Structure 1
Amino acid sequence: MLSESPILLVVAAAMIDGQGRVLVQQRPEGKPMAGLWEFPGGKVEPGELPEAALIREIHEELGVALAADRLTPAVFASEGLGARHLLLLLYLARDWQGEPEARHASALQWLQPGELRGLAMPPADAPLIGLLERLV
């Protein structure tokens, strides 16, 4: 049996609309960090490219289609997570097909980057706000 990697690789999208707002979703009850607001995304499966994982996760979570050639790598965050270590890769997405819907979240919000500072966010997501303010 293979042991679980000590590094948990996660991808997320800062989806930016035409008004410069960023989409965040609220973690549902029953999940770790329930009620916190986060950038949509998820775990990279073994052997999966980060961009492919992000496209898959965004489709599953929001019902929209992203194209790999339209994703811009932006920043990463590194955060201790118990016995494992979370490495979060954040991509910018400025266009997609479909209208985002909360399939696996309690709620969605479109906010200006500075408004994200008022939200309760997971430890790995919160430090990314300053970068988004400069990029958007």
Structure 2
Amino acid sequence: MKSPVPVVCAIIVRDERVMIAQRPPDKKLGGLWEFPGGKVEPGETAEAALHRELHEELGCTVCITQALEPFAHAYPWGSIELIPFLCELTAESAEPHPHEHTALAWVERSQLQAYELAPADVPLLTVLI
């Protein structure tokens, strides 16, 4: 059995709102919303992967405020180990732009349940709400 693929995600908080990103329709889990991030490359730390992915996907920089407990999630095509981080945009960061997503939304924590989230991200709602 293959080891879970390590995947980082950023829960970016600004003014009591959390940013979520909508996956493109032509990708796995297309149309679902997620906390942005991506796979950790071999030899890369989770923190370095988070900064790289956010720069590539959103063109922004963050400061990590808290590392949350990683957990495993099994999809039909394979398992991931999700490594979540609470973050804030840095003062010098550009405004996030959806380079690899269909849309971005800043959502009040209490409203996150109204969005159809990627299944691996759903357990994070218990931490956020």
Same fold, TM-score > 0.5, yes or no: yes
Aligned to 2:88: 94
Q: Judge which range, 23-32 or 76-85, deviates more.
A: 76-85
* Contact 1:58–1:65 (CA under 8 A) maintained in structure 2: yes
Superposed structure 1 runs of 4+ greater than 3 Å apart? none
Aligned length in residues: 127
Runs of 5+ unmatched residues, structure 2: none
Q: Residues 127 and 101 from structure 1, CA distance in 2 versus in 1: closer, same or farther, beyond 3 angstroms?
A: same
Return the match for 2:57 from 61, 64, 75.
61
Partner of 2:10: 13
What is the SS of the residue equivalent to 1:94?
strand
Q: C-alpha separation between the residues in 2 aligned to 1:112 and 1:82?
A: 31
Q: Which has the higher strand share?
A: 2
Deviation at 1:123, TM superposition (A): 1.1
2: CA distance between counterparts of 1:56 and 1:90?
15
Q: How far apart are residue 76 of structure 1 and its match?
A: 2.5
CA RMSD in angstroms comes to 1.6
Q: Which runs of 5+ in 1 are unaligned?
A: none
Task: Kindly indicate whether the alpha-carbon contact (under 8 Å) linking 1:77 and 1:124 is maintained by their aligned counterparts in 2.
Answer: no
TM-score (norm 2): 0.91
